[in-house]
Amino acid sequence: MTNSRDPEGRRRALLAATVEVVAEVGVARTTHRAIAARAGVPLGATTYYFPTLHDLISAALEQAAEAWDADLVEWAAKLRGAQGEPRQSGPASVLTQLVLGYLADQPRARLECELYLAAGHTPELRSLATHWLLGLRDLLTQLTDKSTGFALATLVDGVFLQATVTGEAPEAEDLRLAIERLWVSD
Amino acid sequence: MTNSRDPEGRRRALLAATVEVVAEVGVARTTHRAIAARAGVPLGATTYYFPTLHDLISAALEQAAEAWDADLVEWAAKLRGAQGEPRQSGPASVLTQLVLGYLADQPRARLECELYLAAGHTPELRSLATHWLLGLRDLLTQLTDKSTGFALATLVDGVFLQATVTGEAPEAEDLRLAIERLWVSD
DNA sequence: TCTGTACTAGTACGTCTGTACAAGTTCTCC
DNA sequence: GGAGAACTTGTACAGACGTACTAGTACAGA
């Protein structure tokens, strides 16, 4: 794939391949060899660009976290735009659609859950996972209040977890109703 | 630990040790040697009682799932008893306390999340995880209705996930308020 | 054109893994 | 007490792992 001399391209290819492998088999089963094969580069290239496997995985997860941050900005804009709208296009409906849209990208949702759990027994990842977790909560807290933000973010995390296990998204109407019940801003 | 001849005791010790190791390091990093050391038995004993590592882990998780089923029965009884009570001791307060009580046993909560995620990329575990997931949802659905049961179970799963990441339980008042908002039985 | 640096690519190493197995010990049943 | 089954224990093996390393190649600036 990245055959001709293109260091920056290889770096990107390695990070992208790492994200894919982690999403598929989990952090703990992610190996240099699997990443190299996926990226189409020889084994030695992995350690040339990232001294250790841990560095490579961390860098990949951090990059994914940045993408998630960018998404959150978009979510914030859409949710703000929905405030004051009638129920049909109000914040609860918009959040429901955003969540379901996110889940449609299954590998990505799984990657997020994977990071969450890996953080449970890998202290170095904990701050990254916490950042990810709090990003959504903070956003929702700003739109409502502390308690409501917590409740909504927790519900969404539960949806992610369930989707990771079952491989299926929840029914839109059930989710919308739940969000609507929680979204009681002062 | 289990030195004298006691096959059934060894079997139990191996299962208990497996649960502990899985909760600590995750399914993917659980090894024969770690389990044997934890159980205080020689390496060979692990494959004598369970032909493969997968058999051992599956058996341990199934055993944990049975314990969780038993817990659910208790939850059901307490929640039923709380119906019709004033807010202070009503279902929302009781469920809050049950969840927080469950989280107090951190290794156990982590084990549950661990199973959830492992199921994401280990098809054999998926049915077990789904069973675990649906157990709570069914219970809550019986006490309320389908949509409410889904919403409450999802919130609780979100709480478990967050607790696994951060290592901290949510504030009781936030959680109780969220449950109360969702718990609108027809 | 020469030289040093950046990069490539393949291989080698020590360690850890799941599992097999052989030799020994203790029990059960006749 | 003797035989066979059940159980114990330590060791061995092939494979996969992270990472180090060497030899080769392409590019920069002199």
Q: Give the CATH number for residue B38.
A: 1.10.357.10
Task: Please list, in sequence order, all residues whose beta carbon lies within 8 angstroms of the beta carbon of residue B45, skipping any fewer than 6 positions away.
Answer: B10, B14, B36, B39
d(CA A179, CA A93): 8
Is there a domain that residue B104 lies in? yes
Residue with token string 């202290």: A123
Residue A176 confidence (pLDDT) above 80 = yes
Is there a domain that residue B1 lies in? no
Residue A136 near residue A153 (C-beta atoms within 8 A): yes
Is there a domain that residue A82 lies in? yes
Q: Give the residue numbers spanning the domain of A137.
A: 7-182
Residue A182 near residue B182 (C-beta atoms within 8 A): yes
Q: Do A174 and B113 touch (CB under 8 A)?
A: no
What pLDDT is stored for residue A4 in this prediction? 62
Is there a domain that residue B156 lies in? yes
The count of structural domains within chain B is: 1
**pLDDT tens for chain B, residues 1 to 186:** 445 689 999 999 999 999 999 999 999 999 999 999 999 999 999 999 999 999 999 999 999 999 999 999 999 999 999 999 999 899 999 999 999 999 999 888 889 888 988 888 888 889 999 999 999 999 999 999 999 999 999 999 999 999 988 989 999 999 999 999 999 875
Is there a domain that residue A2 lies in? no
Among the partner-chain residues B116, B147, B178, the one whose CB lies closest to the CB of A151 is B178
Is there a domain that residue A157 lies in? yes
**Does this model's pTM top 0.85?**
yes
CA-based nearest residue to A156, from A123, A132, A125: A132
Among the partner-chain residues A113, A155, A156, the one whose CB lies closest to the CB of B120 is A113
Q: Do A151 and B155 touch (CB under 8 A)?
A: yes
Residue B162 near residue A186 (C-beta atoms within 8 A): no
d(CA B74, CA B135): 13
Is there a domain that residue A151 lies in? yes
Is there a domain that residue A1 lies in? no
Any atom of strand C under 7 A from CB of B43?
yes
* Helix A146-166 / helix A106-120 crossing angle, nearest 10 deg: 110
Any atom of strand C under 7 A from CB of A45?
yes
